[in-house]
Structures are given as structure tokens and as C-alpha cells.
Structure 1
């Protein structure tokens, strides 16, 4: 299978998604030990909301990102259209 050529915007959006995911993981770890920190909870919720806005934007142009029913497939089945994680 040949590697799909993607525009620079795809890589910028993926980098942004990776940064958001990193923040969410770190805040989850922090909140596990500081469950009453309202500022951290607000930041977590803000980042979770932002992630829910960002993922559909990426998927609209470049295909599904998450399996197990977390992302819809286009027609025809388009999971094999997007680059594999090691290709980006």
C-alpha cells in the first residue's frame, strides 16, 4: 500500500490533538491525587470540550481516528484510507 500524501494542515492538527491529549492525561493524573482542585477540573473540562471539537474537524477531512464506535466511517468503509500511526 502506498503512503497517502497529506497536506501540512493535517500534521498541524494532529500535533495539536497530541498536545491536547497530553494535557488531558497529565490533568487526569493530577486530579487523581487532588480531586478538589476546581481550577484543574475546569481546565480538564475545557480541554475535553476542545478535544471534542477538534476530533470531528480532523475526521471530516482526513478520516476516522478512533475505533470501537468512537468514530464514524464514511462510505465505503474508510478505515483503510487514513495513514497508519507510524506513517505520520
Structure 2
């Protein structure tokens, strides 16, 4: 089902956001940890791929231009919105 795929992909976005934020916080106190820096860069790359995939299939994650261009019709008002899943 489309809604199940949407939820699963949104979950991947959320998971990678969590990983990226946690690694960011760790790197704030351990800036010379090369392994953590590598992990952070990989997490950000995966996060961006998941976001692009989500937005290509289901529309923008954020409004006000942060989610990339919109297709016709205006997608932001078409639900469910990401926080409604």
C-alpha cells in the first residue's frame, strides 16, 4: 500500500536524522575523531538520499522552499502531511 511505503520511508528519514544529530553532537566534543566524522558524512549522505526519494514519491517534507520544488498541483496541501503519519 502507498501509505505503508510512505510511513516506512518517513521512518528511514527520521532514523537517519537521529543518527546525524547524535553524531553531530558527539563531534562537537570530539572534533578529531576521524571515524565519527566518516560516520557522520555517511549518515548525512544517506539522509539526503532518503529525503530525495521521499519527496520525489510523496511530496515535500517541509514547506517554505526547504523541501525542494513542488510539482503540480501544489503538493503541500495534499495530505497526509509528514507529521500526520
Same fold (TM over 0.5): yes
List runs of 5+ in structure 2 lacking aligned partners. Answer: none
In structure 2, the partner of 1:62 is 58
TM-score (normalizing by structure 1): 0.84
Task: Answer yes or no: is the 8 Å Cα contact 2:16–2:43 preserved in 1.
Answer: yes
Of 5, 8, 13 in structure 2, the residue corresponding to residue 9 of structure 1 is 5
Higher relative contact order (CA 8 A, sep 6+): 1
In the alignment of these two chains, the number of paired residues is 84
Task: Answer yes or no: is the 8 Å Cα contact 2:61–2:82 preserved in 1.
Answer: no
Distance 1:38 1:19, change over 3 A: same
Q: Which runs of 4+ in 1 moved over 3 A?
A: none
Distance 1:52 1:85, change over 3 A: closer
List runs of 5+ in structure 1 lacking aligned partners. Answer: none
Instruction: Compute the RMSD of aligned alpha carbons.
Output: 1.7
